[in-house]
Chain A
Amino acid sequence: RKEVEQDPGPFNVPEGATVAFNCTYSNSASQSFFWYRQDCRKEPKLLMSVYSSGNEDGRFTAQLNRASQYISLLIRDSKLSDSATYLCVVITSSGTYKYIFGTGTRLKVLA
């Protein structure tokens, strides 16, 4: 089993739709989690951290489910500009911290 897994997609959704992605992780000792957005041929950019109690930033909501070992990203009222690949990052610590990136989920928002 991969340490971090994401559905590669693509998720094709119409403008205005709500879409959610999950990211599962295998190490129950994982401590910190982030969502990054990566546009085609560009660098990853931090979208949001994921807090234990869940957190929201505008149209974006991140959730953590430790029992089932996954994080999720919900995007409401999708915009064309949301089209990108969304990477999850899981950080574990066993002496030193280890950052593990998922392969990303590709989202296409269609007009």
Chain B
Amino acid sequence: ETGVTQTPRHLVMGMTNKKSLKCEQHLGHNAMYWYKQSAKKPLELMFVYNFKEQTENNSVPSRFSPECPNSSHLFLHLHTLQPEDSALYLCASSQVALAGSEQYFGPGTRLTVT
């Protein structure tokens, strides 16, 4: 398998549920990112990991909790979400974090919070 993969591709969850999004990159990159894309808004960077260390957290609510066990895997743990959290969640990777290099995106998880 190549590139950046994400599972699940679609997720519907209630506000009291706990779920996790998974991302895996097969590009040998050292940096991974979580983005949120809502309708008619630009991509919002949520978290950045560089060599497994979190380097950025852009004021994301604590109901989103990232985990990066190694440079190839990234998780986003979700709990007690709100309906406004419904969006497309995209994972991306790059050679190193935020060093001006291009990012490669996974297909995203379309999340609906009911």
Binding site for B on A (CB under 8 A): 4, 8, 31-32, 34, 41-46, 49, 87, 91, 93, 96-104
Contact = CB atoms under 8 A, between A and B. Distances in A.
B108 A32 contact: no
Contacts of B90: 43-44
A70 to B, nearest CB: 17
A99 to B, nearest CB: 6
A98 B45 CA distance: 9
A31 B100 contact: yes
Contacts of B85: none
Contacts of B99: 97
Interface centre among B103, B106, B107 (most CB of A within 10 A): B103
Contact of A98 (B88, B98, B104, B105): B98
B102 interface: yes
Contacts of A44: 43, 90, 105
Nearest to A2: B42
A103 B42 contact: yes
B107 A43 contact: yes
Contacts of A8: 40
Interface in B56-105: 56, 88, 90, 97-100, 102-105
A48 B107 CA distance: 19
A66 B83 CA distance: 41
Nearest to A3: B42
B108 to A, nearest CB: 5
* 10 A-B pairs closest in CB distance: A97-B98, A43-B105, A101-B43, A32-B100, A101-B42, A103-B42, A46-B102, A43-B107, A44-B105, A43-B108
